[in-house]
Amino acid sequence: MSTDKPTAARTYLARVRTALADLPANEIEELLEDVRPQLAEMEAEAGAAARVEDLVARLGTPESYAAELRASGGYPPAPETPETPTEVVATVNPGRLGPRLALWGLLFCAAGAALVAFYTAVRFDAKELAGMLVLAPVFAVSVAFLLLRGVEAIRDLPEVARARAMVKSMREDRSADRVLAYLNSLKPAWWVVCGVALLAFGLLLMIRNLHAILLLPVLLVGAGLVMWAGPRTKADGRMLWIAVPVSAFVAGSAFGGLGAAVNLVRDRTYSSNSAPAYASSTYEDIHGNEALRYGSHELTNLYVFDANGKPLENVYLYDDRGRPITITRYGCEKDTGTSQMTGQDNQFPRPKVVEGVQDDRGNVNGYNGYRGYCREDSGVPFAAVIPKAPATSGTSATPVPPTKPAQPTK
């Protein structure tokens, strides 16, 4: 840095020092020990055109930053000076509605992103990601107020101050402080994990549905943003609006994937260790009504033949207790031209319902029209050969006529 002209970092640091002027000089130097390299790094990133306003946009005003240093060091707030009238304070802090909308909008979007990712991973279906569209307007409002009011207005909120005080009290506990220090040391690796996890998430969804490839560009951009913005969150609070939602999404998908894996292992273990399954007494179709099954196949129709292979009509079926074997009957609905449930009975056989699409020329399954086509085909779609009972050995198939009794002779 040049010593002829004050730089942006020196000007900002001087104002911070002025705001801390009521503290002992050695303690001020201790508080500013970590501030100097941070300001120098920010100034280097901005280049030769760095201004104090750029540092204010990223760290807040020097006075608010000095207040944060006081709170982190456990010092009392700066004494009020008579030169700061109430009107000036009112203009500096015009209201808390905008900052609160920015803060709570961020937290709401982070929680929503975690839930969406969780359900997407558990159900392994990319369609669940449509829930992110609900969060988009809330996130847009949050970012708008962030850009309008800045990070420093959010830092001045009472709830943020209470959170900082809670962290400070935890740091006073040595065990908790060690945990926080360990977590802070994992931050650089966490941003890389987030980027890789997003790409892996998209590739896994493609296994289930190839159309999920459309999500890969979005996830690729998200991975790049979080790896870029994550390390800058300490210097620039605005980067939290990128890092926090993405981190929540990755955490939610991780828990959802763990739950899906547990369910898969449990189902496989149960299926391998359980006893052979026998058919239950009641089966239900898609409408929740009782249904018949032959093995694993659901029966929707039954055909009955006599001993000569002739199909029987209007047959009513009952079980061994005299109860009718009633299942759902389907038929064509005239208005929509589709198959509909028409009731339940135990009469067999039923007409076979055939659905399709009919075009303008009357062709079924055509491509030029959109009219529904449905018909009911009666009759038996196959021929049955009834086996004959074999003749019993030692008996004649031809009946022997009875003989007349002998007449007595005269």
Return the domain boundaries, the chain: 8-79, 97-271, 283-377
CA distance 170 to 164: 10
Torsion angle, alpha carbons of 308, 314, 320, 323, to 10: 180
How much is the pLDDT for 3?
45
Both structure tokens of 332 = 């064509």
CA distance 231 to 250: 17
In this model, does residue 365 exceed pLDDT 70? Answer: no
Phi, psi of 337 (to 5 degrees): 70, 30
Quote the DSSP letter at residue 397.
S
For 141-175, how does the pLDDT look when each residue is reduced to its tens digit (9 = 90+)?
998 988 888 888 887 888 888 887 787 777 767 77
Look over the chain and give the mean of its residue pLDDT values, rounded to a whole number. 76
Both structure tokens of 394 = 């030692």
For 91-100, how does the pLDDT look when each residue is reduced to its tens digit (9 = 90+)?
344 568 888 8
Q: In what order do the strands lie in the sheet with 290-294?
A: 283-284, 290-294, 297-299
For 31-65, how does the pLDDT look when each residue is reduced to its tens digit (9 = 90+)?
888 788 888 888 887 776 677 777 877 778 888 88
CA distance 294 to 346: 17
Both structure tokens of 23 = 């503290």
In this model, does residue 325 exceed pLDDT 70? Answer: yes
How much is the pLDDT for 368?
46
105-114, 244-253, 364-373 — which is least confidently predicted?
A: 364-373
In this model, does residue 137 exceed pLDDT 50? Answer: yes
How many Å separate Cα 17 from the centre of its chain? 48
How much is the pLDDT for 272?
57
Neighbours of 2 (CB within 10 A): 6
How much is the pLDDT for 363?
56
